[in-house]
C-alpha cells in the first residue's frame, strides 16, 4: 500500500468525509471505504443531501489513472440503466471525460467533487424522484467512448478519433506535419483543429493515451 501522504488531496477529502476511512488493502491501490455524504444542487432541480456507502480504490499511479468507485450499500441497482459496470464499479462517465476532469483538479478531493458527487446527485434524483439521469445518458462500451472523444475533440466521424489521439501522442513539431485528422486534407499545423490538439495534449497523460489507442488497459 502506498503511503497515504503521497496521494494529493487525500487529507482534505478525509476531513470532508468523516465516515470514510482507509482500509487494509493487499493490492497496489489505496482503499477508502464508508459513508460518503454530499449536498448538491443543479439549476432547475432540488437540492439533495444524501449518503451512499462507497468503496473507492485509488490507484498507485493516481492522478495519472482514474480511481474506481463501487457502491456497497445496495441502494443502486446493478444494471446498465443505473450506470453500474459489469464488475460492480459505478460508471461515472467515459474515460476521457473523467480523465479530463481529473487532470483539471488532480486531487482526491477534486475527483470526489467533479466525478463522484455529480453522479450520485443524478442517482439520488433518479432513485427518489424518478428523474431521468440529468447529465444525459452516459454512453456505454467502445462506441460510447468513441462518441465522447469525437464530441470533446470536435470531430465529425468516429474514424477520425484514433488519428487525432495519435497526434496528441506526438511532439507538437512532429504532429503539425501529420495529415490533419479533421478531414480538411491539410497538415495539422495548417488547420484550426490544432487548437483542440493543443488543448488536450497538455491534459491527457501520454501513457494513458497510448493505452486507449492500443486498446490495452
Ligand atoms: Zn483539419
Query: At residue 109, what are phi and psi to the nearest 5 degrees?
Result: -60, -45
Contact (Cβ atoms closer than 8 angstroms) between residue 204 and residue 103: yes
Q: How far is the CA of 188 from the centre of ligand 1 (A)?
A: 6
Is the whole model's pTM more than 0.85, yes or no? no
Condensed to tens digits (0 to 9), the pLDDT of residues 136-159 reads 555 555 566 777 788 888 899 888
What's the gap in Å between 210 CA and the centre of ligand 1? 22
Bond preceding residue 63 cis, omega within 30 of 0: yes
Q: What distance in angstroms lies between residue 140's CA and the mean position of ligand 1's atoms?
A: 28
Distance 119 CA to ligand 1 centre (A): 35
Span 36-88, pLDDT tens digits: 999 999 888 899 999 999 999 999 989 988 999 999 988 988 876 777 877 78
Distance 179 CA to ligand 1 centre (A): 8
Ligand 1 centroid from CA 100, angstroms = 22
10-35 pLDDT, tens digit each:
999 999 999 999 998 878 899 999 99
Q: Which domains does the chain have, with CATH numbers?
A: 4-129 (3.10.110), 141-214 (no CATH)
Give the separation between CA 73 and CA 52, rounded to whole angstroms. 7
The CA distance from 3 to 110, in Å, is 19
| Rounded-to-integer distance, Cα 211 and Cα 63, Å | 16
Amino acid at each position: 500500500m502506498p503511503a497515504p501522504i503521497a496521494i494529493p488531496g487525500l487529507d482534505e477529502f478525509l476531513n470532508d468525509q468523516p465516515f470514510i476511512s482507509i482500509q487494509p488493502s493487499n493490492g497496489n491501490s489505496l482503499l477508502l471505504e464508508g459513508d460518503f455524504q454530499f449536498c448538491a444542487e443543479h439549476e432547475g432541480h432540488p437540492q439533495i443531501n444524501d449518503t451512499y456507502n462507497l468503496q473507492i480504490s485509488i490507484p498507485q499511479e493516481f492522478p495519472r489513472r482514474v480511481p474506481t468507485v463501487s457502491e456497497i450499500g445496495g441502494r443502486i441497482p446493478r444494471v446498465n440503466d443505473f450506470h453500474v459496470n459489469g464488475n460492480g464499479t459505478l460508471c461515472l462517465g467515459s474515460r476521457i471525460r473523467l480523465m479530463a476532469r481529473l487532470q483539471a483538479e488532480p486531487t482526491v478531493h477534486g475527483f470526489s467533487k467533479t466525478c463522484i458527487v455529480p453522479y450520485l446527485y443524478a442517482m439520488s434524483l433518479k432513485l427518489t424522484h424518478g428523474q431521468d439521469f440529468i447529465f444525459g445518458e452516459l454512453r456505454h462500451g467502445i462506441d460510447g467512448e468513441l462518441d465522447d472523444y469525437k464530441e470533446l475533440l470536435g470531430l465529425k466521424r468516429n474514424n477520425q478519433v484514433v488519428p487525432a489521439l495519435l497526434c496528441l501522442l506526438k511532439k507538437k513539431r512532429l504532429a503539425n506535419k501529420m495529415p490533419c485528422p479533421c478531414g480538411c486534407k491539410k497538415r495539422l499545423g495548417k488547420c484550426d483543429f490544432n487548437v483542440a490538439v493543443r488543448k488536450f495534449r497538455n491534459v491527457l497523460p501520454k501513457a494513458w493515451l497510448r493505452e486507449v489507442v492500443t486498446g490495452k488497459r
